[in-house]
Amino acid sequence: MIKLFIVFASTASLSGCVVLSPSPIVEAANLVGSAITGVSAMTPSTPQNPIVFAHAPIKEICIEWNGAVALSDFVPSLQGELQRHGVPSRVYDAGTQPGSCPMTLVYSAYIKWDMKTFSNAYTPYLTFASVTLRKDGRVVGSASYKIGSIAQDKWSSTSSKLGPVVDALLISNPVVEANNSAGAPVAVFGGS
């Protein structure tokens, strides 16, 4: 009885909260479920209904700014994924397409807001994105991202969600890694 009192008194003096589960099996199941969810959130998604017509490798893309997409990292993520394929890009205002840029990219996206685990602040996340690539006004490719039915990739980065979409559109431009020791780009073919 004295041992129980000492244990209780010592835990009561701690500034943190201690929660003991009556069933370690339930706690183990929760831990496994959390681990599976975390790992599945890291898996890349696949583009939805990609349609891509054969085209030559792309030298540069001009991205038409869509002010309706309220996700601050959308365009930088899109540009990063294009750069991963060795394609530089620039952004222009809608209706002011530069004449020196035959390849243009338009996009639309939807976001939702929710709280991450252990957070009390709402955070936006990408639920849908549609990207269309045009050459001289004619569509040469279109692909989209849609969040999974159980939202397993809900908190994945915008870049990891857009990566497979850009990969589908730029099949003529292989992924280019960072420079090798000689300074020349190294092409990496990551697809089938």
188 in a domain, yes or no?
A: no
Identify the domain containing residue 118 by its residue range: 47-174
Name the pLDDT band for 2 (thresholds 50, 70, 90). low
> How far apart, in whole angstroms, are the C-alpha atoms of residue 49 and residue 135?
20
4 in a domain, yes or no?
A: no
Instruction: State residue 21's pLDDT score.
Output: 58
Distance of CA 70 to the CA centre of its chain: 15
85 in a domain, yes or no?
A: yes
170 in a domain, yes or no?
A: yes
pLDDT for 95-142, tens place per residue?
887 788 889 999 999 999 999 888 899 999 999 999 999 998 889 899
Distance of CA 26 to the CA centre of its chain: 32
CB-based contact 91:65 (threshold 8 Å): yes
> How far apart, in whole angstroms, are the C-alpha atoms of residue 164 and residue 44?
7
101 in a domain, yes or no?
A: yes
Provide the CATH number for the domain around residue 145. Answer: 3.30.160
User: Would the pLDDT of 28 be above 60?
Assistant: yes
Half-sphere exposure of 5 (CA within 13 A, CB side): 2
> Roughly how many angstroms between the first and final C-alpha of the chain, as a whole number?
68
How many domains does one find in the chain?
1
